[in-house]
Structure 1
Amino acid sequence: MKDYIGLDVSMKETAVSIRRNGERVWRGKCVSDPAVIAQLVRKRAPAVDRIVFETGPLSVWFYHALRAEDLPAICIDARHAKSALDMAPNKTDANDADGLAHLAEIGFFREVRVKGFESMLVRTLIAARNRLVRITVDLSNHIRGFMKTFGLLIPAGKGSTFEGHVRRLLSDQPKLSEILLPMLDAWCATRLQAARLARQIAAEARQNDGCRILMSIPGVGAITATSFVAAIESPDNFQKSRSVGAWVGLTTRRYQSGEVDYKGHISRRGDHHLRGLLYEAASVIL
């Protein structure tokens, strides 16, 4: 008989439920570590056929670690699983694990393609650079706002121009300088690190054939190209090229019931960052 396992993963502990022949045969918890879970599976469910868990912060690590242990790990869409898990009268980790094990047994789930670590490294690089850029924008806006209180209006300008205006206006404001110059120094340091990561992204793009082809399109730069390549990974992941638009959430939603049939706005599913970059590129082309 085959065993089916549901894992409700959290940061510290993972709830585990094992089903066999339509019945739950074991339920418990263990540390959220794939190595520990692999030992538990071999002990409690030697004939395991599916190990199901939802998408989440630890899903990439769990998936690849369990696959490396030669275990049939399957990551499923959390939105799809939610509809089934909400049927339980009480929301607990144990009940969620039971529900996931039941989904694994009957095969009623939507498997998610888990990205490789190489793609995740590129996505992490892009996300880190974007975060630093947002921090520089927030710091510059705060500096402008604080200085307005004292009648010091900073003229329009970015980068070194902005820094020069701030230092000039604070030159005869010793008390205010003690407060705002540390913020300005933090702004300068963050800006330098953001530029450093941007150079890494550009270097990654130059070394990738797919990125170089994409960057030949007007409006597509290194960030958009690397984001797209890291998200798609391989063209073989899609049966048709038209499926990519739906996967990114750029196709319209449809509602049909009886005689009612209409299309709404785009679904906005998938990678919202990549979708925003593609919007910007399309705006440049138009």
Structure 2
Amino acid sequence: MTTRTWLITGANSGFGRHLASQLLSRGDRVAGTFRAAGSVDDLAGENFRAYHLDVTDPAEITAVVDRAFADLGRIDVVVSNAGYGLMGAAEELTDEQVEHQIATNLTGSVRLIRAALPHLRAQGGGRILQLSSVGGQAAWPGGSLYHATKWGVEGFAESLAGEVAPFGIGVTIVEPGGARTNFRYGSSVLAARIPAYDGTPVAGIRRILTERTTQGVGDPARMATAMIESVEREPAPLRLVLGSDAAQAMEGALTARLADVRSQRETAAVTDAPLSDAVTGGPADLND
């Protein structure tokens, strides 16, 4: 078993907490970020460094990442984990809620990884784990902004994987299904209710979050173990699907999406320019 050094955002709860605890128990070093004072005090020890970080603060992201690399000398794995769920119909959300969701889940992840890349390149490689969700591949009513951030960060990470592979940096998008963490009933935010949506599919997510009678099928400790073990795989797996519910939902969503595309092959081709007028250099040519 190789001993590694990890940087984990949101190490105080959920997957971040499970990752930090398991890694410390096996002798790895962990730089963990937190927002609430005292929330990681019980992890204190010679192998754990704690850093306050609000991922919506660009200057703090750069400062914390630079300091963690300076303090620890090398960081082998960067885990972009911090995030939360904003639930409710798109119309029910305030502008401030929309902006904060994007700043946390999407922009914060992008900034964190961009801040780490110069260090990873300089040290000759490393691994990035970007926490996404089954909600980054499948979407349901009542989670439009949450899905927007997860679909966005997946596009970023998938493109990034091709950009940084020449530098020995691997990228894995982690796709957990419902897990028994505090995400559903602790860190999720429910928008103010508009009565017009009471009889629509949006009511389902509101009922789940208010009645608190359901829980995910996933064991967060086992999921954290799978994330840790994925770092041993070469090359880095682009996606890591965790949970039977995630596998089923993703397969269903991708199958439906593919069927939709295939049904439009002929109508799509109607919009092509005549061969004699075609201009090269479009998106399909980028991989030539």
Relative contact order: is structure 1 or structure 2 higher (C-alpha 8 Å, sep ≥ 6)? 2
TM-score greater than 0.5 by the shorter chain:
no
Which has the larger helix fraction?
1
- Relative to the length of structure 2, the TM-score reads 0.30
